[in-house]
Amino acid sequence: MEQFVVTGGARLGGSVSVLGAKNAVLKHLVATLLAPGSHRLENVPGILDVHIMCRVLEHVGASCAIAGSTIDIDVPVHLRPEAPIDLVRQMRASILVLGALLARCGEARVALPGGDDFGSRPIDMHLGGLESMGATFDLVHGVLHATAPDGLIGADVHLEFPSVGATENLLLAGVMARGTTTIGNAAREPEIQDLAAFLGAMGARISGAGTSTIVVEGVPSMSPAIHRVVPDRLEAGTYLVAGAITGGDVTVTDCVPEHLRMELRKLVEAGCEVTTGDDWVRVVGPERPLPVDFATLPYPGFHTDMHPQMVALLTLASGTSVMTENIYSARFRYVGELNRLGAEVTLEGQHLIVRGVATLSGCPVDACDIRAGAALVLAGMVADGYTTVVDAQHIDRGYHDFVPKLASLGAEIRREDVPG
């Protein structure tokens, strides 16, 4: 067990680059299962979730060789179509193998997913969509047995909500289905566009990715491909808020500013100076943030995975902000931890009322999940004294070199083993 120890007070300055998006590369890894042969993914972050997904692929029969930010994946002709409980429990994205294995093998056995504790996170839309494509499901001792003995057949699927995972599972299932699959009310996230680009390089015929209607014309087979993963807008956004909260001056490079449009707009409303170039964003933080109201929404709305970091910033605002969480029913465990640091945040249904305070005061807090952990580190950087963020492995799931990158910007932060 490790923890991060942060000493508050330093204004961050300088520039930091980001790698490929966790929420893209995990799906790209699954997509490789669709075509036997040697694939290569570049710009891959060395994060825990990537290692877990590689273990899922290895269980299925593929081999993954990681060298720096490149992964070579070798996919055999014959696969073992199952994802074991110990891996699926650690990472909800493992459910994506369902669509890919059904497409490749006509069957899949996948334990029901775990992942972050954000309240109930059902997979009904994944299953409903796959059922309309000819799959049948049976739950046996917590393991979902999926079969499509006659292969998957293209279908019109209209999602009740633009779920990222369901859209991706249906894309993976549709690329080799017989006929045309149309995904209505599809998620429009840049990571989905990037998955479609990788699948396109593998030979898939997909149009409309990035819009609410994606059309997939099934092809009989796919071939291996090389792909550079889209930059991580959440990693980029987190370092930008780190600059903002410390009243610093931080530039994030190798990112796509367009993918952070709503988050940057809210930083401007909070009093930050924001400038952008083709592949960089610079944020100069205010002496004290202004209060801002915002609501999380599917892309292009404000990303739910940036909400804890933004709330950390607003704890120090010169007034009261209201945040509405529309994606998850229970993404609020970290609020109690922020309040231990002296913040005044109250939960009213799906709304957080954030009353700005003049100072925070360091103490031990629990990372809770990836983004909450990052937000608590950011709060620690402006808290009086030092803040210990325990359960730091949550942060390692999503951020490559979090401590060295923040330290390179001037943060006083170190990683240490939990005593005892």
- Known catalytic residues? 116
Take residue 267 and report the two structure tokens written for it. Answer: 């930083």
209: β partners = 211
70: β partners = 67
Q: 267: closest CA among 246, 287, 286?
A: 286
CB of 161 to ligand UD1, least distance (A): 5
* Choices 99-107, 146-154, 161-169, 312-320; region in contact with ligand UD1 by CB under 6 A: 161-169
CB 157 within 8 A of CB 170: yes
| Interacting positions 11-30 with ligand UD1 (CB under 6 A) | 23, 26
Pick between residue 23 and residue 321 the one whose CB is nearest to ligand UD1: 23
**Residues touching ligand UD1: how many (CB under 6 A)?**
20
* Choices 73-81, 117-125, 222-230, 334-342; region in contact with ligand UD1 by CB under 6 A: 117-125
Pick between residue 22 and residue 405 the one whose CB is nearest to ligand UD1: 22
Take residue 229 and report the two structure tokens written for it. Answer: 């993963």
Q: Which of 251, 304, 315, 321 binds ligand UD1 (CB under 6 A)?
A: 304
Pick between residue 304 and residue 309 the one whose CB is nearest to ligand UD1: 304
388 belongs to the binding site for ligand UD1 (CB under 6 A): no
Take residue 64 and report the two structure tokens written for it. Answer: 């993954």
165 belongs to the binding site for ligand UD1 (CB under 6 A): yes
Q: Which of 41, 47, 316, 327 binds ligand UD1 (CB under 6 A)?
A: 327
Take residue 18 and report the two structure tokens written for it. Answer: 């980001």
92 belongs to the binding site for ligand UD1 (CB under 6 A): yes
157 belongs to the binding site for ligand UD1 (CB under 6 A): no
CB of 256 to ligand UD1, least distance (A): 16
236: β partners = none
Q: Compute CA distances 315 → 204, 302, 362, 417, whole Å.
A: 46, 18, 14, 29
Spatial separation of the C-alpha atoms in residues 345 and 324, rounded to whole Å: 13
**Count of beta carbons in the 10 Å neighbourhood of residue 61:** 15
CB 229 within 8 A of CB 21: yes
Binding site for ligand UD1 (CB under 6 A): 23, 26, 92-93, 121-126, 161, 163-166, 187, 304-305, 327-328
